[in-house]
Amino acid sequence: MDKQNVYKPSYLIELCKKYSLSPSKKYGQNYLMTKIYIDKMLEAGEINRDDLVVEVGPGFGVLTFALAEKAEKVVSFEIEQKLREYWEENGPENLEIVWGDVMRNFNENNFKKYKLVANLPYQITSGILRLFLELENKPEKIVVMVQKEVAQRITAKKGDMSVLSVSVQYYGQPKMVAKVTKGNFWPSPKVDSAVLLIDNIKSPNNDFSDEHFFEVVKAGFAQKRKQLWRNLSQGLNLDAEKVKNILTEICGNDKIRAEELGVEEWVKIVKSL
């Protein structure tokens, strides 16, 4: 097969007929048709011959083939059983396909150093990011195509933070690498997308657990209209004056709201509580 054909809707339509597939809304199947964004993803991930790459949802392989050309090995997780025959016929030597749901089937013990690169189905984006960032053995880099709005929320700065942005920025540095308009996909989704890079991924070395950190953060964001001291004192059954004093000390203001804090302040607050 000519790998360049996977960028053409006419060829994708043929393949869908051949394998009795109609792009599934349930699995968020929208096929990317523009090579420049595949190149941007490989570039952002700095994919090279020493890399083991984990991919989620290879589909007909527009990203998979490009990864296999650059990396030492690609392990792709695919839930759509109808694609078995396609990959048996067309899979490159250095590709291993794991048939099943990555959320259930990923075993971090099978991987030493690896990068996660994927054109993610939108409805599993936050689940996938959470899965990989919370692992003991985290990926070196994450490069994913996500909904543009989600990428904007993840990369938000103080004043616009959410549980999602705090969660990702707690483990690494997210950056939007490219915006991808909906016309670059077949079928065209309702919203634009973006290539998101998460770099400098690490396990925070704090004297409290990640679970405790997120318990405090979620309590802080529980009711957006309320000031942070109120959410924390009510959500965690803490003395209101004590919480106000801590916020004054760390943020210089006890009337601050959760979205105004960055990860560093949250870490200090959790330590103080």
The annotation places the binding site for S-adenosyl-L-methionine at 30, 32, 57, 78, 101, 119
Sign, CA dihedral 5-31-162-113, equals negative
Binding site, residues? 30, 32, 57, 78, 101, 119
CA 56 to chain centre: 11
Q: Residue 58: how many CB atoms within 10 A of its CB?
A: 25
DSSP conformation letters of 57-114: --TT-HHHHHHHHHSSEEEEEE--GGGHHHHHHH--TTEEEEES-HHHH--GGG-SS-
Question: Cα(247)–Cα(250) distance, rounded to whole angstroms?
Answer: 5
> How are strands ordered across the β-sheet holding 115-119?
95-99, 73-78, 52-56, 115-119, 142-147, 193-199, 173-180
